[in-house]
Amino acid sequence: MKKPIITIIILLVYIGTVISQETKEKVDSSVYAEEDQYEDDPYFWSYTKEIGINFTPLVSKLVPFNLGQNDSGLIGLRWKKYYSSRAFRINFGANVTSEEIDNGNPFIYLAFGVEKRYPITKDKKLAYTSAWDLAFSVEGEDGDGFFGIAKGYGFEYHITKRIFLSTEAQMNLGISSNNVIKVQFQLPTAVFVNVRLY
């Protein structure tokens, strides 16, 4: 009595494994087939999500001729959700450890905005981005804050369809915490490694 039950269980497990393997292969092949359709489409990234991490501190340690102090910018994490040709994006950065507070160097940065990507080369490996953000930041021990708009100008290099590098310069216009109009141009000091999620 036990032998037929064990045989049936083993058979069901085997069939389930085969079916799940075939389903996975079909899904994988359909994703790549869908990607191949985008070859001639300048907006092949439409309706995708992207997440980027600021890799500047790591890159600065790996580059042997970099002897100076590197400013990695205020943004640590970038998230985008593309629609047809434009993306909604969120930029976030923070350093609020007790040590940084004691040293007088804490900061928080948060921005919400829209972005558009323009392919530069025919193979779409190199692209230019233009963005508008509503930004808020607090820096330093005295809480020197900023609230205003930021215009971003960026470049991206697409290593694959899913992984790409990016950097961005920004022109900021806003009001500081002591009601002074602040205009600031930030050079593209940060290098982001981005992953496209489907």
3-state secondary structure of 22: helix
pLDDT reported for residue 67: 46
pTM (two decimals):
0.71
Domains in the chain: boundaries: 2-38, 41-197
Which pLDDT band, with edges at 50, 70 and 90, does 192 fall under? Answer: very high
Which pLDDT band, with edges at 50, 70 and 90, does 130 fall under? Answer: very high
According to DSSP, the β-strands at 107-119 and 126-139 are antiparallel
Report the CATH number of the 41-197 domain: 2.40.160.20
CA dihedral (174, 118, 85, 46) positive or negative: negative
The model's pLDDT over 37-60, given as tens digits with 9 standing for 90+, comes to 555 565 667 788 999 999 887 776
Decide if 155 contacts 167 (C-beta within 8 A): yes
